[in-house]
Amino acid sequence: MKSWMGRALAVVSGAVLSTPLWAAEHGDTSAVGLAKLGAAIAIGIGATGVATGQGRAASSALEGIARNPTSRGDVFVPMLLALVFMEFQALLCFVIAFLLQS
């Protein structure tokens, strides 16, 4: 797990650090270009976090229901609320990225 996260961090940091240099070579070092880069990173990180959280929440809820089928009513509604809040976070990342881009 740690080696996977280290590799992912290396790839993301390499992409983030090399993109402004690539933009400088092509003459686009304006604040608008960097804001678009920030918007893209915000959407990517937000979507990754939300997808991971939703997967873990659904997995845990289904595992709990499988172990104790009578707890379906007690587990299902809080799980749906958690998924709704996570999806709101993803939409909020999209809105913030859209505002950064304009």
All domains of the chain in start order, with CATH: 29-101 (1.20.20.10)
What is the C-alpha to C-alpha distance for residues 102 and 100, in angstroms, rounded to an integer? 6
Pairwise CA distance, residues 56 & 41, whole Å: 23
pLDDT given at position 28: 56
Q: What is the pLDDT of residue 67?
A: 92
Q: How far is CA 11 from CA 1, 33, 97, in A?
A: 16, 21, 21
Per-residue pLDDT of the chain (102 residues; tens, 9 = 90+): 567 777 777 766 666 666 665 565 556 556 667 777 777 777 888 888 888 888 999 999 999 999 998 988 888 888 999 889 988 988 888 888 778 766
Residue 68 contacts by C-beta under 8 Å, 6 or more apart in sequence?
Answer: none
CB 26 within 8 A of CB 85: no
Q: What is the pTM of this model?
A: 0.62
